[in-house]
Amino acid sequence: MSDPVLNTAANTTLTQSDIPAVRVASPESYPIAVFTGFLDWFGNLGIFSWQVLRAGVTPPYELRELIRQLDDVGSKSLPLVALAGAAIGTVLSMEVRSSMTRFGATSMLPSAVVYSVIQEMGPIITGLVVSGRVGAGIGAELASMKVTEQIDAIEASAVNPYRLLAATRILACILMLPLLTIAGDACGVLMGWVAQTLVQPISFHQFIDAGFRGSTLKDFLPPTFKTAVFGLIIGLIASFQGMRTRGGAEGVGRAATNSVVLASLFVILADVVLVKLILVIFS
Amino acid sequence: MATTQDIAINQATAEPADGAPAVAVEDLCKSFGGFNVLRGITLRVGRGETLAVLGRSGTGKSVLLRLIIGLESPDSGSILIRGQDTAGLTLDGMGEIRKKMGFLFQSAALYDSLTIAENVAFPLDHHRKDMSRSERSDKVDALLTEVGLPSAHQKMPSDISGGMKKRVGLARALALDPEILLLDEPTAGLDPISSGEIDELVLKLQREHQMASIVVTHDLHSAKTIANRLALLDQGKVAIEGSFEDLQQSDIAFVKEFLKQS
């Protein structure tokens, strides 16, 4: 019925004077309080993930909301991701050219740009850009719905908010991140070529041919599809932070900030693990 | 105002055919952060009956409604909806029970990204897939007309007044033709004229739909107008339950003080 993640005392009519004074932790017990808070957060995230998974895999499926979220996460993030990818491609081309010229290896420049963009820079930049735009959006939207009792109203209407709000957003992030990464990679490679050809003219066909020479799909597919994990992290953390918010406008702001900070942090940490996994599995 | 005879008739017809009251709350306790908000509440509401729950701010009136609809879990005690215990139900299991209930939030809690018509259609879109789009649209028209807002379909919640929001919230609560209606402060924050209109609307809906209703309010005038029975909460317990005349004749100091200040 009621669950520990969604249901807090935030929306009751209790006044501050009704609540017993909060005990302030002594300096000695502060590390313990931080540690238990850390465990509490992960515990609640685990319960939340289970609720979302259980709601998401059982009918009825919220296809209309999923399509709306795919549009919101995907097409509305595309310009930002494309711009970030283009900037990264340009900068990489300029920086790599400088280094390659020093070692007399300018012919390696297309490969260096293509590999750098597709294997690492494109996925991580896309993850961070989306965690900023979409993470903040999901966190703030759900937090606002929480503090204005809209999530309670959804639940009171016999609609599962985990299914309608969280599962759709998380799935949209999982599906859209790889596609956005491909778009960001394409813009990065294109602008890498533009930056190269402005200094030393080369046809796009030649640039691509040199860039992808000797490579196979396993060089490019795992780094691209690892961003589905970034999508899971962004959607899950932002939905979790939003749906457990307490306390008015301040709570909404805090949820949006925490969504971005935590999602970005976990995307970077996940990248470290995933890169190692990909190297172990595919080398 | 209902007479004692009216109340006797209502209480006699309060039990549905299967014998179980629409809502039965037994020895309900709930605390937040060590503070006991409800300390053993027992109440019963039958079909066609309206119970008004009164009390000072912070005495747990809204918490009681949130417990009944399953938005909070009780620490102890039981809640039976038409004889079915809600304890231990999953979110989807509770959802089946919630389909029989309508809930009007104190803030109306309209979905701010949806139009008024979409707000009212929300429960229908999710639970009445057997209805065609035009049937759902007709139902929304009928509900908005019933609450006196026949031409507000395309407005956004931010564009309408507090009283209109309450009406829309009521229309949404009625969308699935509930057997039980829970109203949290339906007249709070409204001017006397709007409050009177909401009261009349609630009375009209009760006459036409014969729902069991629980109305949480601190507005004694509104409670007298719309309820058959009143329950006054004090320090997490029911201080007195009965007709308005019962409350007037009570010797309990808190009841006297509450009536004097209202």
A216 interfaces chain B, CB cutoff of 8 Å: no
Residue B199 has pLDDT above 50, yes or no: yes
Q: What is the DSSP letter of A149?
A: T
Amino acid at A272: V
Q: What residues of B are in contact with residue A58 (Cβ under 8 Å)?
A: 92
Q: What percent of chain A has a predicted confidence (pLDDT) above 90?
A: 75
Q: What percent of chain B has a predicted confidence (pLDDT) above 90?
A: 56
What does DSSP say about strands B237-242 and B229-234: parallel, antiparallel, or unpaired?
A: antiparallel
Four-CA torsion A149, B229, B188, B150, nearest 10 degrees: 80
Q: What residues of B are in contact with residue A3 (Cβ under 8 Å)?
A: 91
Q: What is the interface pTM, i.e. ipTM, of the complex?
A: 0.87
At A207, give phi and psi (nearest 5°): -60, -45
Between CA A2 and CA A281 the distance in angstroms is: 43
User: pLDDT grade, residue B202 (50/70/90)?
Assistant: confident
Between CA A265 and CA A238 the distance in angstroms is: 12
pLDDT in tens, A32-86: 888 998 899 999 999 999 999 999 999 899 999 999 999 999 999 999 999 999 9
Among A170-179, A188-197, A208-217, B67-76, the least confident range? A208-217
- Tell me the shortest Cα–Cα distance from A209 to chain B, in angstroms: 49
- Across the interface, whether the CB atoms of B33 and A153 are under 8 A apart is answered no
Position A6 scores a pLDDT of 63
| C-alpha R_g of chain A | 23
Position B209 scores a pLDDT of 80
Amino acid at B89: L
**Chain-centre distance for alpha carbon B81:** 14
Position B15 scores a pLDDT of 46
What does DSSP say about strands B50-55 and B212-216: parallel, antiparallel, or unpaired?
A: parallel
Cβ-Cβ pairs closer than 8 A, A with B, add up to: 112
pLDDT in tens, A242-272: 999 988 889 999 999 999 999 999 999 999 9
- Across the interface, whether the CB atoms of A155 and B34 are under 8 A apart is answered no
- Across the interface, whether the CB atoms of A7 and B92 are under 8 A apart is answered no
- The SS3 assignment for A121 reads helix
Mean predicted confidence (pLDDT) in B197-201: 84
Between CA B171 and CA B122 the distance in angstroms is: 11
Residue A10 has pLDDT above 80, yes or no: no
Position B9 scores a pLDDT of 37
Does residue B90 come out as left (phi exceeding 0), alpha (psi in the -120 to 50 range) or beta?
beta
CB-CB contact of A45 with B110 (8 Å)? no
- Tell me the shortest Cα–Cα distance from A153 to chain B, in angstroms: 6
**Most A CBs within 10 Å: which of B28, B36, B53, B71, as the mutation test of the A interface?**
B71
Residues of B with CB under 8 A from a CB of A: 32-35, 37, 57-58, 60-63, 66, 69-73, 86-96, 98-99, 101, 103, 105, 107, 109-112, 122-123, 126-127, 172, 176
